[in-house]
Amino acid sequence: MYRLKTVYSKPQTCIIKIEGDIRVHDAEQWREAIEGIRKSESARQIILDFSSVSFVSPAAIAEITEVIGDGVFLMNCTPFVRNIMQSSGLGKHVLE
């Protein structure tokens, strides 16, 4: 189970901290949550902080690649998530 928490929100940037595990049965809910954040936040950049995520299933990674678009970035990713994003052509959305 995972939890999303807004830790910073200003007109230009919003940082959402993700905590817990993102498992295969969470994949559809995960996608809906990220799409909801994109629609509800007026910030130009949304940063998803993965520093407190202990596991991400491949199905959830597939959902991440579907909803990542302009203005959405990932930070503090595990090497596994970073490699998947880079091999999907979305490496520019991963902040170092």
CB-based contact 33:66 (threshold 8 Å): no
The pTM score is: 0.84
What's the average model confidence in pLDDT over 74-92? 87
β-sheet bridge partners, residue 95: 75
Residue 75 CB partners (closer than 8 Å, separation 6+): 47, 48, 49, 50, 51, 94, 95
pLDDT value, residue 1: 82
Identify the domain containing residue 85 by its residue range. Answer: 2-95
* Domain CATH code at residue 68: 3.30.750.24
Q: What are 32-80's pLDDT values in tens digits?
A: 877 787 777 676 888 999 999 888 888 888 877 877 877 889 999 988 8
pLDDT value, residue 76: 95
Q: How far apart are CA 68 and CA 75, in angstroms?
A: 13
Side chain identity, residue 32? E
Say how many residues make up the chain.
Answer: 96
Tally the domains of the chain: 1
pLDDT value, residue 41: 67
